[in-house]
Structure 1
Amino acid sequence: MDIAVIVLLTIILLIFLLMLSIPLPYCFGGALLFLSVFGGVAMKSMFLWGTNQLISSVLLASPLFILAGSYMGSSGIAKKLLDLADAFVGRIKGGLGIVSVLTCALMGAISGSGFTGVAATGPIMIPRMVEQGYPRGYATALVTVSSVLGLLIPPSAVMIMYGWVTETSILACFLSTLGPGLIITFLFCVINMFWTRKFDLVLQSKEPIDIKIKQIRTKTWAAVPALFMPVIILGGIYGGVFTPTEAAAVSAIYAILVGFLIYRSMTGKEFFNITLESTTSIGAIMTMILFCLMLSQTLVMLQVPQALIKVIYGFTTNKTIILIVVNLFLFVVGMIVNDSTGMILIAPLLLPLMKDLGVHPVHLGAIMGVNLAMGGITPPYASILYLGMRIGKCEFKDILKPALMFLLFGYVPVVFLTAFFPAVALWIPGLFGLV
Structure 2
Amino acid sequence: MLIGLFVALLLLILFGIPVLLAIGTVALSGILIVPELVPAMFPQKMFTMLDSFSLLAMPYFILAGELMAKGGISKKLVEFAETVVGHLRGGLGMAAVVASMIFAGVSGSATADTSAIGSILIPSMKERGYKPGFAASLLATAGTIGPIIPPSMTMIVYGSMAGVSIGGLFLGGIIPGILIGVGLMLTIYLHSFFPQFPELRQTSGKFNLKKVLKASSRVWLALIAPLIILGGILGGIFTATEAGVVACFYSFIVTFFIYRSVSWKALPKILVDAAVTTTMVVGIISVAGAFGWLLAYLDFNEVVLDLLKSISNTPMVVLLVLLATMLVLTMFVESLAILVILIPVAVFVSKNFGFDQYHFGLLMVMATQIGATTPPVAVLLFVATSIADTTYDQTIKYCLPFIATLIIVMLLVAFIPGLAAWIPNHFLGP
User: What displacement does 1:146 show?
Assistant: 0.5
The answer as to whether partners of 1:177 and 1:425 remain within 8 angstroms in 2 is yes
Determine the C-alpha separation between the residues in 2 that align with 1:353 and 1:202.
49
> Against the structure 1 CA distance between its residues 305 and 58, is the aligned structure 2 distance closer, same or farther, given a 3 Å change threshold?
same
The residue type paired with residue 59 of structure 1 is L
User: What displacement does 1:318 show?
Assistant: 4.1
The residue type paired with residue 358 of structure 1 is G
Moved more, 120-129 or 352-361: 352-361
Note if 1:170 corresponds to 2:166: yes
Note if 1:124 corresponds to 2:120: yes
The residue type paired with residue 387 of structure 1 is V
TM-score of the two chains, using structure 1 as the length reference: 0.90
In the alignment, what sits opposite 1:402?
398
Moved more, 70-79 or 336-345: 336-345
In the alignment, what sits opposite 1:3?
none
Note if 1:158 corresponds to 2:180: no
In the alignment, what sits opposite 2:414?
419
Determine the C-alpha separation between the residues in 1 that align with 2:121 and 2:311.
49
Matches within 5 A, 1:87-236: 87-197=83-193, 198-200=197-199, 201-204=201-204, 215-236=211-232
The residue type paired with residue 104 of structure 2 is G
Determine the C-alpha separation between the residues in 2 that align with 1:13 and 1:175.
38
Moved more, 152-161 or 392-401: 392-401
Note if 1:294 corresponds to 2:290: yes
**CA-atom RMSD, angstroms?**
2.2
The answer as to whether partners of 1:64 and 1:245 remain within 8 angstroms in 2 is no
Note if 1:79 corresponds to 2:75: yes
Number of matched pairs:
425
Match of 1:343 among 312, 319, 339: 339
Q: Deviations over 1:107-128 (max 9, x none)?
A: 1122211112111111111222
Moved more, 220-229 or 318-327: 318-327
Determine the C-alpha separation between the residues in 1 that align with 2:388 and 2:343.
34
Determine the C-alpha separation between the residues in 2 that align with 1:242 and 1:392.
40
In the alignment, what sits opposite 1:10?
5
> Against the structure 1 CA distance between its residues 217 and 106, is the aligned structure 2 distance closer, same or farther, given a 3 Å change threshold?
closer
Match of 1:25 among 6, 20, 27: 20
Runs of 5+ unmatched residues, structure 1: 1-5
In the alignment, what sits opposite 1:305?
301
Determine the C-alpha separation between the residues in 1 that align with 2:323 and 2:275.
33
The residue type paired with residue 33 of structure 1 is L
> Against the structure 1 CA distance between its residues 320 and 236, is the aligned structure 2 distance closer, same or farther, given a 3 Å change threshold?
closer
TM-score of the two chains, using structure 2 as the length reference: 0.91
Runs of 5+ unmatched residues, structure 2: none
The answer as to whether partners of 1:62 and 1:157 remain within 8 angstroms in 2 is yes
Determine the C-alpha separation between the residues in 1 that align with 2:290 and 2:123.
44
The answer as to whether partners of 1:141 and 1:399 remain within 8 angstroms in 2 is yes
Percentage identity across paired residues of the two chains: 29
The answer as to whether partners of 2:60 and 2:244 remain within 8 angstroms in 1 is yes
Moved more, 249-258 or 96-105: 249-258
> Against the structure 1 CA distance between its residues 89 and 183, is the aligned structure 2 distance closer, same or farther, given a 3 Å change threshold?
closer
Determine the C-alpha separation between the residues in 2 that align with 1:173 and 1:219.
31
Determine the C-alpha separation between the residues in 2 that align with 1:364 and 1:319.
11
